[in-house]
Amino acid sequence: MVQFAGKYVHDKDENFEAFLEKMDFTSDKRKAALDSKPEHVVTVDGDAWTLSSKYSTRTSVSAFKLNQATEVEGGSEGKSKVIFKLDGNTLHQEGLESNSTLIVDRLFDENGMKMVLKHKPSNTTATRYFKRV
């Protein structure tokens, strides 16, 4: 099984700007997001996980247990209730509220993490790649 815990630094993006447009980010917020090179730190203790995301202007921390509803902060959606599930090497995050528009799959391998973001109403996806350090 792959090692999930670790530090991951941003490498590259695919279709991220189009995804941000679908998520209704203003042009200023899109520019800031496109310019950001976030770092993520993942810690795992049994089914208890912590995802810490450091951006140039802020740090967000999500602590959760697998398969249990939890509240997280999200870009344009503000705080929302989500659930995290583990499927092999993929950490799946999906909103539980009826207005939820975002699905995030984090696929881990020995080299890093691939984060696939999906805007549900438009079916637009973006991929962000992170290297393990």
φ/ψ region of 20 (left if φ > 0, alpha if ψ in -120 to 50, else beta) reads alpha
Torsion of CA 8, 14, 19, 25, to 10 degrees: 60
Domains of the chain, residue spans:
6-132
Q: Are 16 and 27 in contact (CB under 8 A)?
A: no
Look at the block and give the residue holding tokens 């699905």. Answer: 103
pLDDT in tens, 1-20: 799 999 999 999 999 999 99
Look up residue 56 and give its DSSP letter: S
User: Tokens at residue 111, please?
Assistant: 């080299």
pLDDT, tens digit, for every residue of 51-78? 999 988 888 899 999 999 999 876 555 6
Percent of the chain at pLDDT exceeding 70 = 96
CATH, domain 6-132, list 2.70.98.10, 3.40.50.300, 2.40.128.20, 1.10.10.10: 2.40.128.20
Show the tokens assigned to 104. Answer: 């995030």
Q: State how far the Cα of 100 lies from the Cα of 129, in Å rounded to an integer.
A: 24
Distance CA 99, CA 13 (A): 26
